[in-house]
Amino acid sequence: MPNYKKVVLKKDKETPLKNRHQWIFSGAIERADQYTDGEILQVYSNSKELLGHAYFNSKTTIAGRMLNFSNEDPITSIKRNVKTAFEMRKKLIDTQDTNCFRIINGENDNVPGLTADLYNDVIVIQISTAGMDKLKHVIIPILCELFKNKISIYERSSNPSRHIDGLQDFNGWVYGEEKQKVEVKESGIKFIVDFIGGQKTGFFLDMREMRKLIGQLSSGKKVLNCFSYSGGFSLHALKGGAILVNSVEASEQANELCKTNHQINGFDHTKNTIFTQDVFDFIKNNKLDYDIVILDPPAFAKKKIDINNALRKYHELNRSTLSKMKSGSILLTCSCSYHVSAEDFEIMVKKSGIDSGKELRIISKHRMAQDHGINIYHTEFDYLKSLLLYVS
């Protein structure tokens, strides 16, 4: 094992690490050997106890991210954690049902700073930290080994957290055959995934179980899917027997993909209209004569200081929607804003119900996709909120 440099924590700052939380904040550090950003260091308590290994960055508030909590070589730990993450998915994901799922979920899989999503025979990786960027030469060969080199790997690392870490955006192929798009399947539905020009890594894998739930409720119903992107909820509703599904999305590029997804599944997008329009304007200017309405907006709070503005925007969206929904209908309302808590989101929905004059009953909450499991020792990434509401 290499002779790693050392960092020593202040007195009594080792407790989170002993509880297997992976972040070390800059204020917890007493002293450190001189290092380059992204370098792996040994982490010691103030009483000289080895706590494990982490990579560090002097530019960030989260100065260190733990790679292990032992004296094992951290490179060995990373390789094992990637393989363990993949084995968990093999046990949990029905590959007859879907061939697109998350393989690695950052801190939740003890591989901080890395996500990897599988789309048929393409893996899309996102690297958000300087430390993980330095470990790319370790990660890519492991992924190739797991799939016996029968995959392509595209890196789409353009998230804002990279800039905080002092990294430039990087988008490009790092292994295998180059492709523009790929076809995947989910619950018998085909989707074209644009991992180069689309949102996130190409598809919203974390909403799989909620899409299934909408499909189960849609038979004989009229459905409105707002912020519809490439039509995930729309196609599940149609497959579930909906008599009409309208989709609203401001992005023309996303709507072209949505139309294609209707076509390859045999559904008529001229009957099930796809509106290229701002959702707030659509709700304001149209009667919502639907049995099910879906609100799955992008994150309104990108930073902690955005929370109050985000909650006002969520309130406006939900209040205006509820005020136009008919008695006996169902609303699925969601938030992917990391900085908006589940408690604050639910309080906002209550206020929206009161201000719209509607009675609301929660009939389901968010159903987590199993490939997006949360590390019980590090719950900061439990960001998705969904409420399925009966409106009367």
Over residues 86-101, the mean pLDDT reads 95
Maximum alpha-carbon separation in the chain: 70
Beginning with the edge strand found earlier in the chain, give each strand of the sheet holding 50-56 in spatial order. Answer: 23-25, 62-68, 50-56, 40-44, 5-9, 29-32
Amino acid at 290: Y
Percent of the chain with pLDDT over 90: 90
Quick one: 56 and 86 in the same domain? no
Beta strands in the chain (DSSP E): 5-9, 23-25, 29-32, 40-44, 50-56, 62-68, 100-105, 114-119, 122-127, 152-157, 170-175, 182-186, 189-193, 222-226, 244-249, 274-276, 292-295, 329-335, 360-365, 385-391
Contact 15, 52 (CB under 8 A): no
Over residues 362-371, the mean pLDDT reads 96
Q: What are phi and psi of 352, to 5 degrees?
A: -65, -40
pLDDT tens digits, 317-355: 999 999 999 999 999 999 998 889 999 999 999 999 999
Percent of the chain with pLDDT over 70: 100
> Number of structural domains, the chain?
3
Quick one: 250 and 320 in the same domain? yes
pLDDT at residue 68 is higher than 80 = yes
Whole-prediction pTM? 0.94
Q: How far apart are CA 195 and CA 172, in angstroms?
A: 11
Indicate whether 187 belongs to any domain: no
Quick one: 12 and 135 in the same domain? no
Q: How far apart are CA 376 and CA 374, in angstroms?
A: 6
Confidence band of 109 (pLDDT split at 50, 70, 90): very high
pLDDT at residue 149 is higher than 80 = yes
Quick one: 119 and 224 in the same domain? no
Q: Which pLDDT score, from 0 to 100, does residue 81 have?
A: 98
CATH code, domain with 168:
3.30.750.80
Quick one: 18 and 89 in the same domain? no
Which residues lie across from 184 on neighbouring strands?
191
Q: List the one residue out of 224, 192, 189, 217 whose CA is nearest residue 324.
A: 224
**Last residue in a domain, options 18, 52, 68:** 68
Range of the domain at 122: 74-182
Quick one: 231 and 150 in the same domain? no
Quick one: 126 and 13 in the same domain? no
pLDDT at residue 164 is higher than 90 = no
pLDDT tens digits, 265-286: 999 999 999 999 999 999 999 9
Q: Which pLDDT score, from 0 to 100, does residue 2 have?
A: 83
Q: List the one residue out of 367, 273, 297, 288 whose CA is nearest residue 328.
A: 288
Those residues with Cβ within 8 angstroms of residue 274's Cβ, 6 or more apart along the chain or in another chain: 228, 231, 246, 247, 248, 249, 255, 258, 259, 262
Q: How far apart are CA 374 and CA 33, in angstroms?
A: 33
